[in-house]
Amino acid sequence: MQPTYLEFLKTSPDLAKNLSAIFKPYSVEFMDCMLPILHAEGALKSDGGLNSRANDRGGLTKFGISQSAFPKLDISSLTLSNAVRIYHTNYWRPMHCKHVDTGLALMLLDGAVQHGVNGMTQLLQKKANSKPDGIFGPLTLKATLSMEPASLLIGLGMKRARKYARICAQDSSQIANLEGWFNRLEHMTDLALKEVSHG
């Protein structure tokens, strides 16, 4: 997607080779969206970004995959290949990312990872004037495709920012995460908008 990540991979030929093999079964669009997300999650570090911060409600997390989201999964033994499969099966496909502009796909995928598929679908439905039931079906996809991608991206970015603010208002322990959430959202929105403008 963006030279930033391609340049990053050039500094680590072994990682680039490994990622090339991992993403071989998937579309280029999926890989383009996953690289910035994996980078943001610390998943490209040698330990896969393994962490269990006290203020992170996700619990033990590796490659951006959290124990709270997948309680039956052995997170500590998770491989990058399996993590990518989880992203594709549990986030990319339910958000119908292959049917939309790549920039919008990045926003939808990142939002689903951060807010859950149901939560991100509701934000999308509210912005697209579709019934906000959290179920991404044909009507939601039709409403999504009827909107101008850049405008929808900006609107979704605002809705995600407000959601982060509400989380912190309801649970003060999460305020420590707010700056990081906003930084990530700003970065992903910028990448997504650049992709839309180049598409």
85-140 pLDDT, tens digit each = 999 999 999 999 999 999 999 999 999 999 999 999 999 999 999 999 999 999 99
Q: Quick one: 137 and 172 in the same domain?
A: yes
pLDDT value at residue 3:
47
Q: Quick one: 89 and 107 in the same domain?
A: no
Q: Quick one: 14 and 57 in the same domain?
A: yes
- Global pTM reads 0.92
Domain containing 169: what range?
101-199
Q: How many domains does the chain have?
A: 2
Q: Quick one: 63 and 150 in the same domain?
A: no
Nearest partner of 97 among 27, 44, 3, judged by Cα: 27
Q: Quick one: 151 and 127 in the same domain?
A: yes
Q: Quick one: 122 and 148 in the same domain?
A: yes
pLDDT value at residue 58:
74
pLDDT value at residue 8:
67
What's the CATH code of the domain at 106?
1.20.141.10
Residue at which a domain ends, from 33, 58, 93: 93
Residue at which a domain ends, from 61, 93, 125: 93
Residue at which a domain ends, from 93, 113, 131: 93
Q: Quick one: 111 and 191 in the same domain?
A: yes
Q: Quick one: 48 and 135 in the same domain?
A: no
Q: Rounded to an integer, what distance in angstroms lies between the CA atom of residue 153 and that of residue 24? A: 28
Q: Residue 136, class by beta-carbon neighbours within 10 Å (0-12 exposed, 13-18 middle, 19+ buried)?
A: buried
If you write DSSP's letter for every residue of the chain in order, what string do you get? Answer: --HHHHHHHHT-HHHHHHHHHHTTTS-HHHHHHHHHHHHHTTTTSTTTT-B--TT-TT-SEETTEETTTSTTS-GGG--HHHHHHHHIIIIITTTTGGGS-HHHHHHHHHHHHHH-HHHHHHHHHHHTTS--SS---HHHHHHHHTS-HHHHHHHHHHHHHHHHHHHHHH-GGGHHHHHHHHHHHHHHHHHHHHHHHH-
Q: Is the pLDDT of residue 36 over 70?
A: yes
Report the share of the chain in percent with pLDDT over 70: 92
Q: Is the pLDDT of residue 73 over 90?
A: yes
